[in-house]
Chain A
């Protein structure tokens, strides 16, 4: 299968610059791209992850803000919703995609499936760092120390803030309803995680959500047009 080692493409999201990597060109030009979203503290993989190796179309991977080769914002301020905006900027560039997300990327993948139901051709949610988030309600107030020193990724503020990101099941469920109501796919979300924090457990029981394996989900989404 053709591969690519090109330098990332950079996209602008507000004041941030996002690095988008093309991991593979794909063997079947009729198949839409797959967009891979990394977990909290990770970055876009250099090689095609084994879990998506069966995908016949092009494969891309995004570095979220504060991760990999993307911008490190001065002074933090991260939310999962702003990362949903990162993905939307990417969809505006690539066109409709199937999304495979790990951990935090799974949660963000679910949000964008509700936010842009016609551009997400299936969201596949898998285990990974940042899957749980900060639970379903705020915990004791805590202000993490402000990091000093050289700019680096992953941004310590991203690790601190996105691991406390609150994910109430009823809030998350609204994104599922949006995806199901507005997508033309029968089952636009595939829940493939072993670990099921409260938000994921709520999602898994909703109509329009497949409880399946990544391989099965990718087979289904590869044939949708």
Chain B
């Protein structure tokens, strides 16, 4: 078991020490030395402070066009929209997205939770426009946008949810004893990790190695695309490339949250909603089925399913997804 030694300190409470970013220059948007077909880096970038935490915000499209506000999924970053967002921007939308705290180029926070991500989203939206905007989110980002639509309905024009509709049906129905055993393993692992996380670093490697590791979580995405992502969501140091994401963040976990709580936001959304599922199951997805979504669609809801596509439908099929979204949204 790890022991924790004391450290030096003064009596005054101190503000957290996060990975400080250089806010004197905007977040990087320059093209890298990798390219994939259709990918285009954002047109503009800026920093937005959410309670002192610096978030990297990016935009594609004309600055005075109507806002389409986008949220990426967990362990992703805005660069994952580099093919999809330009298709929407070229149709007349101002696509605005932020690297969530600890992700991409945004600052690493001391603490992370769902409410903080939702709050960060509202801060960025308020920094972007006073007008109601279209919200679009993928996976975790879709869930965040549904919460935002409930917390600030006056700021929402329409909502698009791309495979971000968690369902209870995909969660195993376990006996108490089994669930407790699973929790024991999760808890011990998490607590052990928290004891050493102050010195944790992401594992270094070549661009190809990082892409191959990520392909284990994104098995349907090409290595060319993943290598492109490494050059945006990673950084190079003396011993190789590392993902920028905060090493304290961990996939999976435990807590009181239930998937059906997110789905329960859907029926009450009062603006037109488009929900899209990719029906090919994969590790990062929720495993939600059309019959889980349909009873929860609000009166102005529309549902589509891509039979032959996985969880990352905007990456696997950017043109088809963009065409569907543009048709749903109508003229900007």
Contact = CB atoms under 8 A, between A and B. Distances in A.
Nearest to B247: A14
Interface in B2-53: 2-9, 11-18, 50-53
A71 B194 contact: no
B113 A89 contact: no
B179 interface: yes
A51 interface: no
Contact of B11 (A7, A65, A144): A7
A79 interface: yes
Nearest to A76: B116
Contacts of A12: 4, 7, 198
- Please tell me the size bucket of the interface on A: 35 or more
A98 interface: no
A225 interface: no
A167 B257 CA distance: 9
Contacts of B150: 140-141
Contacts, number: 177
A10 B9 contact: yes
B320 interface: no
B194 A178 contact: no
Contact of A161 (B1, B113, B261): B113
A181 interface: yes
B120 interface: yes
Contacts of A73: 16, 109-111
Interface in A72-94: 72-79, 81-82, 84-85, 88-90, 92-93
B256 A178 contact: no
Contacts of B118: 141, 143
A182 interface: yes
Contacts of A69: 11-13
B297 to A, nearest CB: 19
A157 B52 CA distance: 12
Contact of A151 (B13, B111, B148): B13
B180 A177 contact: yes
A146 B50 contact: yes
Nearest to B5: A93
B172 interface: no
Interface stretch (B131-139, B160-168, B183-191): B183-191
Contacts of B283: none
Contacts of B180: 174, 177-178, 181
B251 to A, nearest CB: 16
B195 interface: yes
Interface stretch (A15-23, A30-38, A183-191, A211-219): A15-23
Contacts of B4: 11-12, 89-90, 92-93
B176 A74 contact: no
A219 to B, nearest CB: 29
Contacts of A114: 183, 187
Contact of B151 (A17, A93, A141, A168): A141
B65 interface: no
Contact of B111 (A76, A90, A138, A146): A76
Given A15-B17, A15-B18, A92-B2, A77 B101 contact: yes
A102 interface: no
Given A14-B194, A82-B111, A161-B115, A74 B122 contact: no
Interface in B134-154: 147-148, 150-152
Interface string A41-71: 0000000000000000000000001001111
19 contacts: A12-B4, A12-B7, A14-B194, A20-B6, A73-B110, A74-B107, A75-B116, A77-B101, A81-B255, A82-B111, A84-B191, A85-B194, A90-B4, A93-B6, A115-B191, A141-B118, A141-B148, A143-B152, A152-B13
Q: Which 6 A-B pairs have the closest CB atoms?
A: A77-B111, A73-B110, A75-B53, A10-B9, A141-B150, A141-B151
Given A65-B110, A143-B119, 18 more contacts: A7-B11, A13-B198, A15-B17, A15-B110, A15-B198, A71-B110, A74-B15, A76-B115, A77-B110, A77-B116, A79-B255, A85-B190, A90-B4, A143-B122, A168-B256, A177-B177, A178-B183, A178-B187
